[in-house]
Chain A
Amino acid sequence: MSMTPSTHPKIRIRDLHKSFGTKKVLDGITLDVPQGTSFVIIGGSGSGKSVLLRCILGLITPDSGSIEIDGENILTVSDKRREALRSEIGMLFQNAALFDSLPVWENVTFGLLARKRLSRKDARAHAGSILAQVGLDPSVGELYPSELSGGMQKRVGLARAIAATPNILFFDEPTTGLDPIMGAVIDGLIVDCVKKLGSTAIAITHDMASAQRIGDEAAMLYKGQLIWQGPATSLMNSGNPMVDQFTHGRREGPISMELRK
């Protein structure tokens, strides 16, 4: 029996496990992300957020479980099909991960050039219009990443993520390392881009202000397990003691930091 897209979540994760040596990083994650939702995953450092995102992207192979995009298990499809599925995903890395050796315009259109969807001549002009969408002057396209500030690098990273109009967007700690105003600017751009493209988005962050600005839905990861899920608006008063301790940044509570005394 085939399922219609409206009944099937865009991303469906079931019982996902991943360990590195003896350390369990993902411990039975089950998650549905509906089409068009902006989903925020919060959690402390080392809780498994980045690993989860990398598993969905196919950069890390989980030990067991399934990850479906539009009903297709990306862990069992052929390499060619996985690459095709991946081409529908845009990713903004934590440190932007721009290619140092290429000018900004080539960074932005890298995916389009790789898939031969644009000639180099057209790509330069196209990069200008994408840069304008993230609030950058097209002349920035001629600069190299090392010539940009942290905020500009994030915007270029965002421009690269949306350049191929993906229907899924991932954001790995989009505001880390930015001042609060620039963080809010980047969040605003993310919300605009997601709305404009009609994409499904997953953002991982431990910036609560950012999580509430970006997200429709939210979930919290703790020690590789999903301990809470609900609307992003209820993040600050979830009723879950662990989530409340985390979102309010309290020292005392059920989450104990493993510090050497």
Chain B
Amino acid sequence: MDTILTLVARLGRATLALIRAAGSLALFAFEGLSHIVRPPFYGRVFLSSFMETGFFSLPVVALTALFSGGVIALQSYTGFAQYHVQSAIAGIVVLAVTRELGPVLAGLMVAGRVGAAMAAQIGTMRVTDQIDALTTLSTNPMKYLVAPRLLAGLIALPLLVLVADVLGVAGGFTVCVMKLGFSPQAYITATLNSLKAIDVTVGLVKAALFGFLIALMGCYYGYNSKGGAEGVGSATTAAVVVASILLLAFDYLLTDLFFSQ
């Protein structure tokens, strides 16, 4: 009986902790979002976050998209050639890239690169009293540190995904034309025939949500970090892991919402 009670108590405590964490995250997100639309605005911090999230992530996202597009083309070819439906490869590549690979791979790459950096920066500021110093200098840390980063994530990731879409298709095109002997004109025609506006649009909507989630997790875990270097390390790990899991979960939910019928 005691064992059962202990188990139930533990389960209850864990559930309460989970609800508390979800509530705290939701309040943090709401407060951060509310500061995006309320002055004063910190344009310099936004610009710096935007460059860090968008511009400096370009090489890693571009290379990931290029190689992924090529891999999809190669893998599709090995399967489709058996049934003589190689003509479908261009459509497969463009749909896979715009609907899924572009936003998901760009999101995961940015989560690893930028989400971790945000958590480490803000976490270090927290444990070295820099966030308290902001408060004493009449500056709201949520407005100065969090809101510009959330906005940067929200705007930069869709732009990155647009680049990833183009380069992913280019990767597939390069493999099909240079290695598999496809006609360039036929490949481009098949790509354009398969592509619908909704595919790109949904990919960009996903990207905006992923960008927001990555920045939110980086800021949330950094802002609440404690315990010196070890605390900052844990915050950084948690920011990347939770952002990556949430990103994949929301990817499924949005795919189900837009493409399930």
Indicate whether A and B interact: yes
Pair B135/A97 contact, Cβ less than 8 Å: no
Pair A97/B137 contact, Cβ less than 8 Å: no
The reply on A93 being an interface residue by CB < 8 A is: yes
Complex Cα distance, B132 from A95, in Å, reads 12
Complex Cα distance, B129 from A57, in Å, reads 13
Which of B129, B130, B132, B138 interacts with A114 by CB under 8 Å?
Answer: B138
A34-72 vs B, Cβ < 8 Å mask (1 yes, 0 no)? 000000000000000000001001110000000000000
Q: Tell me the nearest residue of chain A to B131, going by C-beta.
A: A97
The reply on B185 being an interface residue by CB < 8 A is: no
A99-141 vs B, Cβ < 8 Å mask (1 yes, 0 no)? 1110000000011001100000000000000000000000000
Pair B130/A115 contact, Cβ less than 8 Å: no
Which of B129, B134, B136 interacts with A89 by CB under 8 Å?
Answer: B136
Pair A86/B129 contact, Cβ less than 8 Å: no
Pair A110/B137 contact, Cβ less than 8 Å: yes
The reply on B183 being an interface residue by CB < 8 A is: no
A79-98 vs B, Cβ < 8 Å mask (1 yes, 0 no)? 00001001101110111011
CB proximity of A167 to chain B, nearest CB, Å: 14
Cβ of A91: which chain B residues have Cβ within 8 Å of it?
A: 133, 136
Complex Cα distance, B124 from A39, in Å, reads 31
Cβ of A98: which chain B residues have Cβ within 8 Å of it?
A: 130, 133
Q: Tell me the nearest residue of chain B to A87, going by C-beta.
A: B138
A160-181 vs B, Cβ < 8 Å mask (1 yes, 0 no)? 1000000000000000000000
A-B residue pairs in contact (CB < 8 Å), sample of 26: A54-B132, A57-B132, A57-B135, A57-B136, A59-B132, A59-B136, A86-B138, A87-B138, A89-B136, A91-B133, A91-B136, A93-B132, A94-B129, A97-B129, A97-B130, A98-B130, A98-B133, A99-B125, A99-B133, A99-B134, A100-B124, A101-B121, A110-B137, A110-B139, A111-B137, A160-B137
CB proximity of A32 to chain B, nearest CB, Å: 23
Q: Tell me the nearest residue of chain B to A94, going by C-beta.
A: B129
